[in-house]
Amino acid sequence: MSAPIHESRTPEDALAPADAATFLGVSVKTLANWRSLGQGPAYVQFHGRRVAYLVEDLTAFRMANRIATASGDR
């Protein structure tokens, strides 16, 4: 869904992939697959290698993929 975001944030402002996976209820491998396919939540890349996820991006991704039932939002 989103390309990497290169910002001046520090690693302390973001979650490691394992924590992000737990937050979303998916595996670390799923997050890695989504990144390689250009899908999934936005992420931050530090020094061209280290990947981390901002909580606000994970929350936005979760809300964007929310499916309301016919009986309404619950």
pLDDT digit string, tens, across residues 6-65: 444 555 678 999 999 999 999 999 999 999 999 999 999 888 888 999 999 999 999 999
* Complete domains list, the chain, with CATH: 11-64 (1.10.1660)
What are the beta bridge partners of residue 51? 45
Tell me: pLDDT of 73 over 70.
Answer: no
- Dihedral sign for Cα 13, 18, 24, 30, please: positive
DSSP 31-64: HHHHHHHT-SS--EEETTTEEEB-HHHHHHHHHH
